[in-house]
Amino acid sequence: MPLDSPTHHHPYHGLYKATSVPTLLEVPPLEYLTVDGEGDPQDSKLFAAAIETLYAAAPVLASVGPRPDDADQGLSPLEGLWWSTDPELNLESGDPACWLNRTSWRWTLLLRQSHAPDPATLAAARAELTEASHTPESAAAASALGARSLREGLCVQVLHEGPIEDEPATVGALHRHLDRQGLVPAGRHHEIYLVPAHTASPSRLRTILRQPVRRPGR
């Protein structure tokens, strides 16, 4: 498919499919549950608690919302937005040094919903999960439960297969591809975890790397 022709199908068609060849696509506005955090995810109990919070909250909110259509049945994969507060670290560069010290990393974990959650229901779920928490990390994650509409629009995405530590090479290749196509990053580094890290060995992980883009001058 020509890279100057984004896909136009069902709103969710292609969002969770990718290959090693970067693909241009138009991502529609999407609704998410969110939990924000910071630091190295591999050393963070909050990161694990955030995942548990999202998956615990999703069925509660889905039970009181509009019925999803056939193309949106089932639980969506975990997703995440990533950036750094250190001006010397550019996650988009694919520099492996960015992955060596991740204390300055910031992240927003995302779980896609078929509709924007009702604010009152979201607040009730947040309070319920916070009260049921058994650790400081789970309480912090529950209290940070939120919702967000994400409007990324034009994006390029590619599939990374294998350990997270090997991602820099794929990230670097993706952004060199953008340079060749005359595209400019226009949003945060976005990852979609098709195979959850806790369910498979590192060599079997499959992660979509998505980068919102724009054409210069637009």
Domains identified in the chain and CATH numbers: 23-214 (3.20.80.10)
Q: 4: which 2 tokens? A: 């100057």
What one-character-per-residue DSSP string does 161-190 give?
ES-GGGHHHHHHHHHHHHHHHT-EE-S-EE
pLDDT band at 2 (very low <50, low <70, confident <90, very high): very low
What pLDDT does residue 21 have? 94
What pLDDT does residue 16 have? 92
What pLDDT does residue 42 have? 79
CA distance 23 to 2: 9
What pLDDT does residue 49 have? 94
- pLDDT tens for each residue of 73-104: 456 899 999 988 887 777 666 677 777 778 88
CA distance 205 to 194: 8
Average pLDDT of the chain?
A: 85
What pLDDT does residue 5 have? 36
Choose the weakest-confidence range: 21-25, 33-37, 42-46, 63-67. 63-67
Which pTM was predicted? 0.86
Look at residue 140 and tell me whether its pLDDT is greater than 80.
yes
What pLDDT does residue 98 have? 73
Look at residue 126 and tell me whether its pLDDT is greater than 80.
yes
- pLDDT tens for each residue of 62-74: 765 555 444 454 5
- pLDDT tens for each residue of 193-212: 999 777 788 889 999 999 99
Short-list 24, 191, 159, CA closest to 91: 191
Are 84 and 193 in contact by the 8 Å Cβ rule? The answer is no
What pLDDT does residue 74 have? 59
Burial label, 183 (beta-carbon count in 10 A; 0-12, 13-18, 19+): buried
